[in-house]
Structure 1
Amino acid sequence: MKFLIENWYLVLAALTSGGLLLWPSLRGKSGGVATAEAVRLVNREKGVLIDVSEPAEYAAGHANGARNVPLSTLTGTELPAKQLPSNKALPVVLMCKTGARAQRAAGILQKQGYANAVAVQGGLAAWREASLPVEKSAA
């Protein structure tokens, strides 16, 4: 006990570093999924890839096969039913340029009953870094 009292700063440092190591796992799903997991969800579990960027950003470059459903259309009272899957049990993989808007969109969709709505960590930047296909469309 004397050691702990005399070396309180070491104990504090150990507790702080342990807390910082545990923080990501305590946050749960809110961190999103890595690009490899996103590809697995789309290919093996029939997940729907949705880009929540604005139309101009989407046209400049988006993940191959992604549907464009801007975040601004999700914030209203009614969701755009045509672009979203009717089966709410399917994985909905969301992305944007950096992943921040996709995180917000995942929260909105989860509240609307899409329990498997997840954002891609790092967004389109991480998608490109993983050398996954990106396409452009006419503006």
Structure 2
Amino acid sequence: MSQEFLIQNSWLIALAVGSGLMLIWPILTKGGGTRVTVPQATLMLNQRKAVMVDIRDDDFVNNSGVVPNARRVAIKDLKDKAGTLAKTKETPLIVLCQTGARAGAAASVLKAAGYTDVFVLDGGLNAWKEAGMPVKKVQQAGDAPVKASQSKVKAGKK
């Protein structure tokens, strides 16, 4: 009787297993950083002097713009330039990509480089824009990376 039940309801069992995998997928692909929302990232930038690290390639940056005061390091160069991102390894870093999907891998690289507080902006630049936060257009692909500074990020209005 149980074999018959399994055969007759195999699609329900497959659906249940698939749903379970979809629920744990974000946990499995999280990478090395704790995910933070745009409001949490804004607080960290203002109160803890966190550094936003933009890992997107020039094509994405030219099309979408950059977060003011973010440090730009393409993901392919991150391992070599990790030591130049902040004054100390205890400085919080918030990794940003376009959607939040590739930032987890970059956060793992930064943790391996010795940074202790590494975070991933959940939803990436898309979430930043949706929250009404400032984005600066880049003039041309060869522009120098935007340097981190002490200025405060103000919450945007939607």
TM-score, normalization: structure 2? 0.64
Alignment length, in residue pairs? 134
Aligned Cα RMSD in Å?
3.1
The equivalent of 1:68 in structure 2 is: 72
- 3-state SS of 2:53 partner: strand
Cα deviation for residue 58 of structure 1 reads: 5.2
Letter in 2 for 1:54: D
Unaligned runs of 5+ in 2: 1-18, 144-158
The equivalent of 1:48 in structure 2 is: 51
- Counterpart-to-counterpart distance in 1, 2:45 and 2:112: 21
- Counterpart-to-counterpart distance in 1, 2:31 and 2:43: 16
Give % identity.
35
TM-score, normalization: structure 1? 0.72
The equivalent of 1:90 in structure 2 is: 91
Distance change (3 Å), C-alpha of 1:87 and 1:58: farther
- Counterpart-to-counterpart distance in 2, 1:33 and 1:70: 21
1:66-117, CA deviations, whole angstroms, 9 ceiling, x for partnerless residues?
12111110145x6362xx0121101011101011221111111011111111
- Counterpart-to-counterpart distance in 2, 1:42 and 1:133: 13
Which deviates further from its counterpart, 106-115 or 31-40?
Answer: 31-40
The equivalent of 1:38 in structure 2 is: 41
- 3-state SS of 1:118 partner: strand
Unaligned runs of 5+ in 1: 1-16
Tell me which protein shows more helix as a share of its residues.
Answer: 1
- Counterpart-to-counterpart distance in 1, 2:96 and 2:65: 12
Cα deviation for residue 136 of structure 1 reads: 0.9
Is the 1:73–1:80 contact (alpha carbons within 8 Å) kept by the matching residues of 2?
no
- 3-state SS of 1:49 partner: strand
Letter in 2 for 1:137: V
Letter in 1 for 2:47: R
